[in-house]
Structure 1
């Protein structure tokens, strides 16, 4: 009788683990390199850009926040991101609820319009948005930039939220209606708490998109004091040219990365659970 050999789970998963380890190195090494380079002097960077710093030069962060105005740009980015998140999430959540729960004339057409907007490149919307913001006197304005961010992200946000709202049974809403709750009350007291995972997931996605956005900020912001963080770093490198203070510049790059990394680390479980609950289902 031939005995069947049991395959070793470790050996069977070895190729997958090797690929994941390689991918982790490719992703993590640039982040680690950026972080330790932010503590190097410009001379150290030119002598050996890949070597570890001889000592931690914290003055790079002082220069970034004082001379390069990174702190001011940071506040501008925070204001624009918060405005965009509030507008985008509130409008998209209400629209997704209406699309998934109500049937009205052209509701199917409206949903397909939102879906088709996902394939609309951001470059095609720059000129119309520029003209619209100019007529509304919101050009070169942080609130106007936040509105533009929100408008561009609404289709994707609705698409993701509809996947969550479809999974919520309608019996909860019917029970709330029997208790005398209005549609607006149901949206806030019943649907919103049950769709918390989806709201957290889309908030993280939108936060990363708004925080790191560059094209719209470059097109709609012209005043130096109103520049966002990414725009300020780009102008800083352009102005300094070959005399770039690389230590301060990398300190600014780390400042851009930290909020996203911290937010993702804190809400990682909610994001993972949110996606598994159907956030990516159409």
Structure 2
């Protein structure tokens, strides 16, 4: 066997070992999700007898009890309201801000960009006490609109980071051509920049939506009224109730219901999400 043939064989072996390893990692990562789904169809007796065994039948009544014994419907509505508000505020502010930071040169632009990049590492949980006191002073506790505004502010630095990377990759020739046709800055942003930066905008939207949908500590502190609590708080409350009632089937059913929107969102936009993360990360 020649040296070249040995190199090819070694490369093939490494490739197959890598594939097998990645398949095993995928199985390990997927198992909790699969276990959660089939556990939602088990009776309490089956779950307590063998938590990892497959169900003997499909107990759809678990989903009925999950909704009937909790405020899951109201929690889902509150989460959808907050997520949509977060996305609207974030897009209205982050898109023009990113464009200005990339295309316009003015005093302090580098400082502003650096501050935004540094703010990515400042999580709301680190400043929870002053944040709570400020929200209380402004009378914005137990306010879904205020929570959406707060979530948008939390996602703003990352949105700026990702979208500025996309907008830097857009050649200026398109903007110059639009200016020749009579477009002003607002027209260029609306007709040129936004369509060409669509993968980045979709990526920011998906990540922000999933973050707002799953956010727990801020909502736990800021929303004490059960009628206004979001889905993660509702799931936590349901867990506290069901673990003493030993109704594990209803608990797992509620978890599956909470997973459905994020799974659907990822399936629909996974291509643009991956494209956006790759391009944005390289160009940023």
Q: TM-score, normalised by structure 2?
A: 0.94
Post-superposition CA distance 1:241-268 (Å, at most 9, x none)? 4224211111111111111111111111
Corresponding residue for residue 111 of structure 1? 113
1:125 aligns with 2:127: yes
Aligned partners of 2:168 and 2:283 also within 8 Å:
no
After alignment, is 17-26 or 27-36 more displaced? 17-26
Corresponding residue for residue 34 of structure 1? 36
Corresponding residue for residue 275 of structure 2? 273
> Secondary structure at 1:5's aligned position in 2?
helix
How far apart, CA to CA, are the structure 1 residues paired with 2:146 and 2:27? 39
Report how many aligned residue pairs link the two structures: 282
Q: CA 1:280–1:38 in structure 2 vs 1: closer, same or farther (change >3 Å)?
A: farther
Corresponding residue for residue 94 of structure 2? 92
Aligned partners of 2:37 and 2:256 also within 8 Å:
yes
How far apart, CA to CA, are the structure 2 residues paired with 1:120 and 1:174? 38
Q: CA deviation at 1:135?
A: 3.0
How far apart, CA to CA, are the structure 2 residues paired with 1:3 and 1:247? 60
The residue correspondences of 1:136-175 to structure 2 (distance < 5 A) are: 136-175=138-177
How far apart, CA to CA, are the structure 1 residues paired with 2:186 and 2:133? 35
How far apart, CA to CA, are the structure 1 residues paired with 2:121 and 2:3? 56
After alignment, is 21-30 or 235-244 more displaced? 235-244
Aligned partners of 1:161 and 1:279 also within 8 Å:
no
Runs of 5+ unmatched residues, structure 2: none
Corresponding residue for residue 5 of structure 1? 5
Corresponding residue for residue 190 of structure 1? 192
How far apart, CA to CA, are the structure 2 residues paired with 1:154 and 1:161? 10
How far apart, CA to CA, are the structure 1 residues paired with 2:50 and 2:21? 30
Q: CA deviation at 1:279?
A: 4.3
Corresponding residue for residue 252 of structure 1? 254
Post-superposition CA distance 1:15-54 (Å, at most 9, x none)? 2112211210111100000000011112211111100111
Corresponding residue for residue 82 of structure 1? 84
> Secondary structure at 2:120's aligned position in 1?
helix
Q: CA deviation at 1:11?
A: 2.2
Q: CA 1:53–1:172 in structure 2 vs 1: closer, same or farther (change >3 Å)?
A: same
Corresponding residue for residue 48 of structure 2? 46
How far apart, CA to CA, are the structure 1 residues paired with 2:257 and 2:2? 63
Q: TM-score, normalised by structure 1?
A: 0.95
How far apart, CA to CA, are the structure 2 residues paired with 1:2 and 1:57? 62
Aligned partners of 1:129 and 1:148 also within 8 Å:
no
> Secondary structure at 1:50's aligned position in 2?
coil
Corresponding residue for residue 217 of structure 1? 219
Post-superposition CA distance 1:202-232 (Å, at most 9, x none)? 1111111111110011010000111111100
Post-superposition CA distance 1:110-160 (Å, at most 9, x none)? 011001101113212322332332233221111111111111110011011
How far apart, CA to CA, are the structure 2 residues paired with 1:129 and 1:177? 44
Corresponding residue for residue 244 of structure 2? 242
How far apart, CA to CA, are the structure 1 residues paired with 2:183 and 2:93? 21
Cα root mean square deviation, aligned? 1.7
Runs of 5+ unmatched residues, structure 1: none
After alignment, is 64-73 or 189-198 more displaced? 64-73
